[in-house]
């Protein structure tokens, strides 16, 4: 590859246990070639490419904490009398699901903190999926050849919402039950098949007698299994197609410039996982989430004011709040108003999102493959469509909590609702126009700098009296990697001694071998690593 | 013919015989009625006199002496309360608490309503709005007691409950919680954090409500709140609800910072702003290009 001119290093291969194991496996399965090839894979460096990893790591934390919770949760509708250590509910009749959630919270070692980490991780999981989706959208990373990964991403997002809602509904507290009651109503609102759909899901009339076990299977087996498989496919396709990158010196449509998986990218990713875990653990340990003991056990006759779904379902709550009560009756059927904001609207939104790569290709006529990203300003129409969609979503999202916002800021709830209704129609077009103008202006400014240079602020008067401002030419773009490491050379023993001394650090450095080798670059500084599609 | 004449004469004679005595008897009746009326008037006036005499005797024996010696403070409190009322409340509620276009009649609302409105600072009203909000009380406890005594003296009504800590500690917290979730949470929210109603009205947060105020609000139904009378929620249950509200206020959040108590909305805000925000910061840190 790129090692032609560098001196071939001589590795002192110590027979460490890791090397022995690796040799043993390689002797039997012939894995060394694949390991070498994949360890040498290059990933581009940009902070925004790491957002998807937040979702991945939150998902892993969800699996780990979820496994712990399954040890103690009892998914059962059977009614019992609570006799645990939470005094204000002693003697109250409740389902075993709710009672076991109380036991996890109050009578299980580390149960509450695991529950809270699990819940915070779920909220951050969906948030990071949407942030990742925004990054992919606004940089045009979904374009050919990556449409399939975009589609998988949309399915992942939808499944994440389903999974989150299932988890929210499992503890069988007042909030869960209220959410399920609404879900049952949404199912019933579908014309012709609605009632049967609801009966199928709840095994009869809401709330049914064995719904929680069903939901439990969906939450801990079915959806996570599909999520895991699709995440595997998502990453596998990414691995195969290679990551996109922003244009820059030395970057072309046919190469990848960045760091190899091992060691730099692997260490960074490992650290990132730890930091994600740290942030979620801090939230889980310091901030109370879903205090089910306050809401009490579910009873269809009770409801709490300001009952909201978790934030990622909030936009549907908002659309329901904004929808006028338009009920259609005729042809022997009733179509309730709730059908439009809760079933039709998300269907339309997710369909449009899934089809977007194909729609864009159709309308722009751009059928080429793209491995280089665009800055948002370089595609003003796409960026404007994105801003329009986001503003539409945000109006719905804010309306989902409009009662709490109204109460907190002493605004009339009716005013909030009407502001949402009008805002939903007025704000998105404004966002479209403003964003598009902004992108075009930024492009014009870029073009001006390219043609005339950068303003210096120095005004000169010419002999004929004319004033002119001096411009200096834009400096040529600097490579992201002036010293791209192309090969690894073991640290000379003397230098290591000088740098680290003979102490603990030195011994630790020797113990982890390759991590502490010095990396020098090829003489030609600008050459990208891993040119070509061989990686 | 003869028979008919005979019958005619018989008829006429019988008519004459019947007519005369009837006249006589009418005259007699008139005379006798006026006599009985006279007699009756005389007897009823005697009864009246006796009654008045008895009332007078009883009044002189029982009423003034007893009240005056037993509760001199009560009368004093009513007097003081009336003065305070005339000064601070009468502008809207009328000089005799009969109400006006600016404020409702307070006759029969009881001491409980007065204590609730004045001890939560809602009355006197800061400004006319969709709903009065809680503020620091303007009157001292003694003054509020005096106004209470005055309003109670006008037409009775629910009394000030005056709960003690012992009452609350003895109450059944679980029962209070069930009653709270069944009757109060649909407006005040499950944690008593409060929530809006229509057109700027709202169910206030219960974070500062004292046990007395909770019971008073249930009994008197201030603002948009319905009255929960003793027929719906008896004395013991009302105390249990008050005890549960105190529990909601005092109980520490076992899970850490109780962010807003509303559940998903503040949680979502924290997850997005702090959780995702911090992790995006980590992205920037880890993803920063290093100079190798």
- Its pTM stands at 0.82
Structure tokens at A35: 């390991």
- Nearest-by-CA chain B residue for A45: B287
Model confidence at B290, pLDDT cuts 50, 70, 90, reads low
Q: Do B264 and A308 touch (CB under 8 A)?
A: yes
Q: What ipTM, to 2 d.p.?
A: 0.84
Is B162-273 the same fold as B71-160?
A: yes
CA–CA distance, A36 with A261 (Å, rounded to integer): 10
Q: Do A279 and B275 touch (CB under 8 A)?
A: yes
Among A49, A90, A407, A410, the strongest candidate for a mutation testing the B interface, having the largest count of B CBs within 10 A, is: A407
CATH for the stretch B71-160: 1.10.760.10
Residue A520 forms contact with B (CB below 8 Å): no
Extended beta strands in A240-374, E state: 259-260, 328-330, 333-335
Residue bearing tokens 């999926």: A129
Q: Please, what are the domains in chain A?
A: 39-314 (1.20.810.10)
Q: What residues pair up with A334 in beta bridges, in sequence order?
A: A329
> ∠ CA A479-A481-A483 to the nearest 5 degrees?
120
How far is B279 from chain A, CA to nearest CA, in Å?
Answer: 7
Superfamily name and number for B162-273: Cytochrome c-like domain (1.10.760.10)
How high is the pLDDT of residue A262? 84
- Annotated binding-site members of B: 89, 92-93, 184, 187-188
> ∠ CA B262-B251-A112 to the nearest 5 degrees?
70
Q: Do B186 and A275 touch (CB under 8 A)?
A: no
Structure tokens at A150: 């975009």
Q: What residues pair up with A487 in beta bridges, in sequence order?
A: A520
pLDDT at B22 over 60: no
Across the interface, which of B176, B195, B270 has its CB nearest the CB of A403? B195
Q: pLDDT 10s per residue in chain A (535 long)?
A: 444 555 666 666 677 888 889 889 999 998 888 888 888 888 888 899 999 999 999 999 999 999 999 999 999 999 999 999 999 999 999 999 999 999 999 999 999 999 999 999 999 999 999 999 999 999 999 999 999 999 999 999 999 999 999 999 999 999 999 999 999 999 999 988 999 999 999 988 888 888 999 999 999 999 999 999 999 999 999 999 999 988 877 788 888 887 888 888 899 999 999 999 999 999 999 999 999 999 999 999 999 998 999 999 999 999 999 999 999 988 888 899 999 999 999 999 999 999 999 999 999 999 999 999 999 999 999 999 999 999 999 999 999 999 999 999 999 999 999 999 999 999 999 999 999 999 999 999 989 888 888 888 889 999 999 998 888 887 776 665 555 443 333 334 444 344 444 555 555 544 443 343 333 333 333 444 443 333 3
Partners of B202 on chain A (C-beta within 8 Å) are 407
CA-wise closest residue to A181 among A338, A38, A35, A321: A338
CA–CA distance, B130 with B119 (Å, rounded to integer): 20
Among B182, B187, B204, B268, the strongest candidate for a mutation testing the A interface, having the largest count of A CBs within 10 A, is: B268
Q: Do B283 and A308 touch (CB under 8 A)?
A: no
SS (H, E, C) A491-522: CCHHHHHHHHCCCHHHHHHHHCHHHHCCEEEC
Across the interface, which of A51, A119, A483 has its CB nearest the CB of B292? A483
The structural domains of chain B, with segments of one domain joined by +, span 71-160, 162-273
Is residue A39 within 8 A of residue A514, CB to CB? The reply is no
Partners of A304 on chain B (C-beta within 8 Å) are 181, 185-186, 189-190
């Amino acid at each position: 590859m790129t090692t032609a001119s560098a001196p071939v290093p001589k590795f002192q291969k110590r027979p460490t246990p890791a090397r022995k194991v690796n040799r043993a496996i390689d002797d039997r399965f012939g894995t060394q070639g694949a390991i070498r090839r994949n360890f040498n894979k290059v990933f581009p460096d940009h902070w925004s490419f790491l957002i998807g990893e937040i979702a991945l790591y939150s998902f892993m934390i969800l699996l780990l904490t979820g496994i712990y919770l399954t040890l103690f949760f009892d998914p059962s509708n059977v009614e019992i009398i609570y006799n645990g250590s939470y005094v204000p509910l002693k003697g109250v009749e409740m389902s075993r699901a709710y009672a076991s959630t109380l036991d996890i919270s109050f009578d299980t070692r580390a149960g509450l903190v695991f529950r809270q980490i699990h819940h915070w991780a779920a909220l951050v999981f969906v948030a990071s999926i949407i942030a990742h989706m925004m990054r992919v959208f606004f940089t045009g990373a979904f374009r050919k050849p990556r449409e399939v990964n975009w589609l998988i991403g949309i399915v992942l997002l939808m499944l994440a919402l389903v999974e989150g809602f299932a988890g929210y509904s499992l503890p069988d507290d007042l909030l869960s039950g209220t959410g399920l009651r609404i879900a049952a109503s949404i199912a019933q609102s579908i014309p012709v098949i609605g009632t049967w759909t609801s009966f199928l899901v709840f095994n009869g009339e809401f709330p049914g007698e064995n719904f929680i076990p069903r939901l439990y299977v969906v939450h801990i087996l079915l959806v996570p299994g599909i999520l895991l498989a699709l995440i595997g496919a998502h990453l596998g396709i990414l691995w195969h197609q290679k990551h996109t990158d922003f244009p820059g010196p030395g970057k072309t449509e046919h190469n990848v410039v960045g760091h190899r998986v091992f060691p730099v990218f692997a260490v960074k990713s490992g650290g990132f996982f730890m930091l994600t875990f740290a942030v979620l653990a801090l939230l889980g340990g310091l901030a109370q989430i879903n205090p089910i003991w306050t809401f009490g056990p579910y009873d269809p006759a009770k409801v709490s004011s300001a009952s909201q779904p978790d934030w990622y379902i909030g936009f549907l709550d908002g659309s329901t709040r904004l929808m006028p009560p338009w009920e259609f009756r005729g042809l022997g059927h009733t179509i309730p108003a709730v059908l439009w904001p809760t079933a039709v609207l998300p269907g339309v939104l997710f369909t449009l999102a899934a089809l977007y790569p194909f729609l864009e290709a159709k309308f722009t006529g751009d059928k080429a493959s793209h491995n280089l990203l665009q800055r948002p300003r370089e595609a003003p129409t796409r960026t404007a469509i994105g801003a329009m969609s986001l503003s539409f979503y945000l109006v719905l999202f804010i309306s989902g909590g409009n009662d709490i916002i109204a109460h907190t800021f002493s605004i009339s709830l009716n005013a909030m609702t009407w502001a949402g209704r009008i805002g939903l129609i007025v704000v998105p077009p404004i966002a479209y126009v403003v964003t598009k103008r902004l992108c075009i202006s930024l492009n014009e400014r870029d073009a001006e700098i390219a043609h005339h240079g950068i303003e210096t602020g120095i005004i000169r008067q010419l002999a004929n009296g004319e004033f002119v401002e001096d411009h200096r030419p834009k400096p040529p773009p600097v490579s992201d990697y002036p010293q791209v490491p192309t090969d690894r050379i073991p640290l000379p023993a003397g230098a290591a001694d000088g740098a680290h001394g003979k102490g603990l650090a030195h011994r630790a450095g020797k113990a982890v071998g390759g991590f502490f080798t010095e990396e020098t670059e090829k003489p030609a500084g600008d050459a990208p690593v891993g040119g070509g599609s061989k990686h | 013919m003869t028979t008919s004449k005979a019958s005619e004469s018989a008829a006429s004679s019988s008519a004459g015989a019947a007519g005369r005595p009837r006249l006589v008897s009418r005259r007699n009746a008139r005379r006798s009625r006026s006599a009985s009326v006279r007699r009756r008037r005389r007897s009823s006036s005697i009864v009246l006199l006796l009654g008045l005499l008895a009332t007078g005797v009883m009044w002189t024996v029982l009423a003034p002496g007893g009240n005056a010696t037993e509760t001199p403070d009560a009368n004093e409190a009513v007097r003081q309360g009336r003065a305070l009322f005339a000064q601070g409340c009468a502008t809207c509620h009328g000089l005799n608490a009969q109400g006006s276009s600016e404020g409702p009649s307070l006759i029969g609302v009881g001491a409980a309503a007065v204590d609730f409105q004045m001890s939560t600072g809602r009355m006197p009203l800061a400004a006319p709005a969709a709903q009065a909000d809680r503020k620091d009380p303007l009157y001292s406890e003694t003054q509020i007691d005096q106004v209470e005594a005055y309003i109670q003296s006008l037409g009775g009504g629910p009394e000030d409950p005056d709960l003690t800590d012992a009452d609350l500690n003895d109450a059944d917290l679980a029962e209070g919680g069930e009653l709270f979730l069944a009757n109060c949470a649909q407006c005040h929210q499950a944690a008593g954090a409060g929530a809006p109603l229509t057109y700027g009205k709202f169910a206030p947060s219960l974070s500062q409500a004292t046990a007395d105020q909770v019971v008073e609000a249930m009994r008197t139904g201030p603002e948009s709140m319905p009255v929960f009378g003793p027929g719906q929620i008896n004395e013991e249950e009302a105390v249990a609800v008050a005890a549960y509200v105190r529990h909601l206020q005092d109980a520490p959040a076992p899970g850490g910072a109780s962010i807003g108590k509303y559940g998903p909305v503040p949680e979502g805000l924290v997850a997005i702003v702090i959780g995702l925000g911090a992790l995006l910061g980590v992205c920037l840190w880890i993803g920063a290009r290093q100079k190798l």
